[in-house]
Amino acid sequence: MERELYTEDHELYRETVREFLAREVQPHQDRWDSEKRIDRSIFARAAKQGIYALQIGEEHGGAGELDYRYRMIVCEEIARINALSFGLTLALQDDLVLHYLLDLTTDEQKQRWLPQFASGELIGALAMTEPGTGSDLQGIKTTARRDGDEWILNGQKTFISSGIMADLVIVAARTNADAGSRGFSLFAVERDMPGFIRGRQLEKVGLPGQDTAELFFEDVRVPAANLLGTEGHGIQHLMSHLPRERLGVSAMAIATSRAIFEMTRSYCKERRAFGKPIGDFQHVRFELAEMSTEIDIAEAYVDKSVHAYNAGTLTPIDAARGKWYVSELQKRVIDRCVQLHGGYGYMLEYPVAKAYVDTRIQTIYGGTTEIMKEIIGRELMR
């Protein structure tokens, strides 16, 4: 079935993205994974080439391009070369941090941060999760107390993507212990603020090149001018930005599923057993037929979600549906692709093996599958 998501302009952009990745990312991605860090300079080159931060307005150094289909193309091309650590770091910037900076900042804050973000000089992170608090945001224990023209921030965060590299960390903190869900606010903590301490870089199952860290805040004095959005509306701000984050997970999940499936299909044509290609065995053909069908159907839902996002009509419920289903599909498809590769599928020199370990987090971050189902179920029972 022919896909109708893209126009000629999008395909021209794809050529730009593909050429950039071949020149600037593909030669280095194995080294980044082995060194467990991505060269920081790549982000300035990526931003200059228009690989991310397209939505920033021209007045702040961006292109002012709001069409999410360009973001989808970046996901697809990153998946094609299996550069998933790099892809997650871009997703963090484009699908999370940037939209807090676009939607919640004052004119003065925009002027301070957006030009550096547009040039790739400023790398951001979002700090919600704590050692005892994951999906339950109201369990956040990090506090911020007003002191004149400053807030004094204390607490700890964990599992923070790009926590080591980030120059600007958006931190969720409790600002009023008696206000329930209205007792939280967001703060932009900058790299060199006294008392802001980066802990260890965490050892993960997959995505080794993408740094994930613990962060500590010990009497960090954050200027009142670094409050993001409205005081007391932190939970609401976080919730309102989840559809974009979850669409981003769906986009990368379907792109990776498609890319690894196509690699596996080619492998099944070339790998021989009992005197013929393994793709000539009916069971293998059935496996490929099932995966191809599932990917096509899920891709249609993602494409529909992209159109809805562009139109401003993508709901949190529909984003949650895509997030859980497509990420679970990714996990299932890549597991089956490993099986079809046999022993080679367990060797990290093969893209399918790297994708297997990198994929496991997809059903956890951005809201677990269980939380997504709970959100959808509650809506159905309202």
Q: What letter represents residue 114's amino acid? A: L
Question: Annotated catalytic, 203?
Answer: no
> Which one is catalytic: 214, 245, 287, 299?
245
Q: What are phi and psi of 38, to 5 degrees?
A: -100, 135
What is the C-alpha to C-alpha distance for residues 45 and 22, in angstroms, rounded to an integer? 13
What is the C-alpha to C-alpha distance for residues 102 and 80, in angstroms, rounded to an integer? 30
174, 123, 368, 291 alpha-carbon torsion, rounded to 10°: 170
228 near 305, Cβ under 8 Å? no
Interacting residues of 48 by C-beta distance below 8 A, sequence separation 6+: 119, 120
Question: Length of the chain in residues, anyone?
Answer: 382
HSE (CB half, 13 Å, CA atoms) of 381? 6
The DSSP 8-state label assigned to residue 61 in this structure reads: T
- CA dihedral for 359, 364, 368, 372, sign (positive or negative): negative
Cβ density class 274-285: b for 16+ within 10 Å, e for less? eeeebbeeeebe
Pairing assessment for the beta strands 143-147 and 227-228 based on DSSP bridges:
unpaired
| Residues annotated as catalytic (active site), given as ranges | 245
